[in-house]
Structure 1
Amino acid sequence: MTTVEASQSATWARPRLRPGVVLGPGVWRDGKLVHHVMDPETGWYYRVGPREHFLMSRMDGTRGLDDLAGEYATAYQRRLGPENWQQLFGMLHQRQLLHGATDPDALAELTASAAAGAAKARRGPLSARLPLFDPQRLFTRVLPWLAPVFTWWFVVPALLLALAVAGYVVWQLPELAGGVGGGRPLPAILIAVVVTWLIVFLHECAHGLTCRHFGGRVTEIGVMWRFPLLAPYCKVDDVVLFTPRRRVATAFAGVFVSMLALVPFAALRLWGPPDGMLYDLAGTMLLFGTATAAINLVPFLRLDGYHMLSHALNLADLRADTYRFYRRLLRQGPQAVRDYRPRDRLAYALYGLASALFAGTVLSLLIHYWYTTLARWVGPGWSITILIAEAALLTALLTHHTRRRPAPPRPR
């Protein structure tokens, strides 16, 4: 037996995952429990079932196959046969996850395919991403200085302060809206655009720093195009490896920092000079900043509020799974969704109904506003014709985009 064969034989006898491979906790996806597996060397994120996760989590080089089989039989009341081991090790070998049994060429191919998939996902007519730099080192250096902000001694008072600012904006809403609509603060609005962009950047950094605080990697900061907006983004894919509470905290961190950034403007509005550029700027920032934070928390848009709700329910993709749930329910009847947990059936049913109500309300308001605007310009008859043509064009574009959209190369 050669040295290589002896090494591989030892690897199979007492299997161990490669250093750096991380197994995430269970999360529910389409009625099934799955676990995410992160391979930092190749950049891939995989999904495995709970039984594969059970065995992989015990592959630490100290247990032989008999030990693993015994623990599995105790947990699942089922013995593993040769075909089961062949299937498991075939998957581990294909993904190059076993220590001492890797092929450099296969690793390079996996790395290249992950990078190519990520680059392809960045391009699109309605959404695209332009990476700018890797913030991992910067966040690692800054994080020790920010340790106090992750304690309850800071979070609770800061949250109360943010809620106080939101309450002040609601209380002063007529005055703030009147100031913006009156045409006085046009210079303040222009300055507010720049300041808002800086706050959005801090918002994204808050996501990244929170992810890094919980042990995740933050590999990318850049600029994102999501029609019709252009804004910074921070890539925090490692949240799939966190517990639900930590995932919720990471998703909420951005809105939290955005609201805290409005505190100086509230102070300026309350105790500063009652007129002038700074007063107008403070009012503009409070109005639009609070509105942006509120929109971010709406759980029917794929923003922070949506991710917070998904994480709180421990569901991988609430919207996509809700579509699948209703498609099965409407096509095949209640029998088709009996495999779902009762709490998931309730979550999907309520979220689907609430989403439809929200979308219908927003669409009705938009159509009414656009119709009344067109009617003033071209009359009622042409207004209806234009609305029908726009609806047909939008439907065709969405259908075309949906058919051509590639499947995501890795889970998010």
Structure 2
Amino acid sequence: MNAQNPLPESNSLDWICPDLTAYWKLAKVKTCNQIVLKAKQGQSYHLFSSQEGFALRYFTGKFTFTKVQHICQQEFGETLPADFVINLLQKLIELNILALDEKMSGDSQDLEPLNILFKKHDFPKTFLKLKDCVQWIKHPEGYWILRNPEDVKFIQVSEQDKTIIDQLGHRPIAAVAAEFCISQNQIKYLLQMLTVTAMLEGTTPPQPPKRKFNPMQLLFFRIPLFNPDPWLSQHINNLRWVWTQPFALLLGVFLTVAALMGYSQHGELLQTGQQLLTHSGSSLLLPFGLLTMLVVTLHELGHAFTLKHYGGIIPQIGLLIIMFMPAAYTDTSDSYCLVKRYQRVLVIGAGVLVQLIIAAISLFLWNGSSPGTWLNFLSYLLMSAALFTIALNLNPLAKFDGYYLAVALTGINNLRSRSFGFYKNLFTRKPIQETGKDALILAIYAPLSLVYIYFVFGFLFVRIADWSFTNIPILSLMLLLIWAIYYFLPQDN
């Protein structure tokens, strides 16, 4: 299609604006109320009005045309033309900043917005080109994983989808759709996945939508801290002996001896715990909490170093608040790109394995120290903290290590959502896609998960509500009313 032809408006507002920031930058003209768009390479520049400059700030690969139009109307009022963003896009095409695929056929107009190209300098020839960093990974179960290590994103596609994606950068979309006898909507969905996961040149992962506050969020929320990947990469080579067979054998013997020793002393261990609670009581909370934080930190490093050993990327470590208790988390989502199941199991189980090692070392220290000494006291508390966190982590009904371990062992991704979807299809008499062993696992998991959620969150809700309305009834009612008004008021899109 010729770049001078009018831009089709039928479905273009549903698509994400191209990311201009990779090749262009905005600047304000000091002598007038205009904005200049300057090329990062070369001397090219173009002048735009202040309104157009405002809109161009959102051409970052994260916002749809509809969203940008809405933002501009909020900023400049309803007098702004309804086709303002479309006209701006047409202007970018006319200025040769963007272009449309000239090979598009007339029956594929609804896909034309996807064929916007950068034309200046040495920019990529097609907007549909995959980033150079993305990798195709063949999974033993027959599907493909497209991995984006730059943004730590991935998608799972079929063999046919892989072939389609490989051809999109070289052939018109309509021709690809015709060859594989698929609808253009299917290709649109595929391209949306590529855009959301930032697989395409000029795209970045969209920010998650802002949602209204819900008091239940206080029971579970994350606070990102930092990116540990550079530090892990710097030190991983010094620790690779940990994942060797000789060390695994020695570790197995060590843990077996510790388990047998602990079992033979379980009566004495329980008695010691009761004595500590009787004599120290609440004064144990601070040292126990600090030791628990130490255990959790080492636990997360176990996940991180194991994934790094197998070539994964760990983009984030942070704090995790669970039911008002501090914990930590490690973003190990890149482990899904490990095609060997035992590697995924080791990444997930590494944290619990670290806790078992801590508990075993603490048991030996407790046995080797004299009763009443600080070493005897701390080693017992450390062992208790390790065993306590193991019990929490191995629960597969909550989204802790036990859940992800169950996912890795069964090979059923999204175990919880698929289990509820299984019953939804069953009750609505829709076709059930799951068969055999997977169907049995899903059928068992959903009811157990519901029972767990009912008892845990039901208990917490009753206790918190009882305390609040008993001790601060007026304040509780006011807060509840304020939140209800806030939550149920319409939200701007």
Common fold by TM > 0.5 = yes
Which residue, 386, 389, 408 being the options, matches 1:311? 408
Partner of 1:241: 337
Is the radius of gyration larger for structure 1 or structure 2? 2
TM-score, length-scaled by structure 1 = 0.67
2:180 to 59, 80, 83: 80
Contact 1:17 1:97 in 2 (8 A): no
Greater RCO (Cα-Cα under 8 Å, separation 6 or more): 1
Out of 352, 355, 364, which is 2:446 matched to? 352
Partner of 1:52: 161
Q: CA deviation at 1:167?
A: 4.8
User: Which residue among 276, 285, 295 is the counterpart of 1:180?
Assistant: 276
1:137-194 deviations in Å (ceiling 9; x for gaps): 1101110000010112212332443354455445424224323322247656532321
1:210, 1:253 within 8 Å by CA — same for their partners in 2?
yes
Q: Superposition pairs for residues 7-406 of structure 1, below 5 Å?
A: 17-23=130-136, 36-42=145-151, 44-53=153-162, 55-56=164-165, 80-81=180-181, 87=187, 91=191, 95=195, 102=201, 104=202, 107=203, 110-111=204-205, 113=206, 116-117=207-208, 124-170=217-263, 171-172=265-266, 173-184=269-280, 189-243=285-339, 244-332=341-429, 336-355=430-449
Q: Which residue identity does 2:313 align to in structure 1?
A: R
What is the Cα deviation at residue 239 of structure 1? 1.4
Residues 180/60 of structure 1: CA separation in 2 closer, same or farther (3 Å cut): farther
Q: CA deviation at 1:242?
A: 1.4
Total equivalences in the alignment: 350
Change (3 A) 1:186 1:82: closer
Higher alpha-carbon deviation: 160-169 or 233-242: 160-169
Does the aligned pair in 1 maintain the 2:155–2:197 contact within 8 Å?
A: no
More helix, by proportion? 1
CA offset at residue 289 of structure 1? Answer: 1.7
1:256: Cα distance to partner? 0.7
Structure 2 segments unaligned to the other structure (5+ residues): 3-98, 103-116, 119-123, 489-493
- Secondary structure of 2:218's counterpart equals coil
Cα–Cα, structure 1 residues 177 and 97, in superposed 2: closer, same or farther, change >3 Å? closer
Alpha carbons of 1:214 and 1:287: their partners in 2 closer, same or farther (altered >3 Å)?
same
**Retained in 1: the 8 A contact 2:358–2:383?**
no
Q: Is the 8 A contact 1:224 1:230 kept in 2?
A: yes
Conserved 8 A contact 1:128-1:226: yes
| 1:234 alignment partner AA | T
The 8 Å contact of residues 259 and 290 in structure 1, kept in 2 or not, is answered as yes
What residue ranges of structure 1 are gaps of 5+ in the alignment?
A: 70-77, 371-381, 405-412
- Please say if residues 265 and 282 of structure 1, whose CA atoms lie closer than 8 Å, have aligned partners that are also in contact: yes
The answer on whether the counterparts of 2:422 and 2:432 sit within 8 Å (CA) in structure 1 is no
The residue that corresponds to 1:410 in the other structure is none
- Output the CA distance in 2 between the equivalents of 1:211 and 1:175: 39
Whether the 8 Å contact between 1:188 and 1:280 is mirrored in structure 2 is: no
Q: Which moved more, 1:38-47 or 1:235-244?
A: 38-47
Q: CA deviation at 1:313?
A: 1.1
The Cα shift of 1:353 comes to 4.3
Amino acid at match of 2:414: D
| Counterpart secondary structure, 1:128 | strand
Between the aligned partners of 1:352 and 1:90, the Cα distance in structure 2 is 30
CA-CA distance at 1:277 after TM superposition: 2.7
Letter in 1 for 2:223: L
Shift of 1:272: 1.0
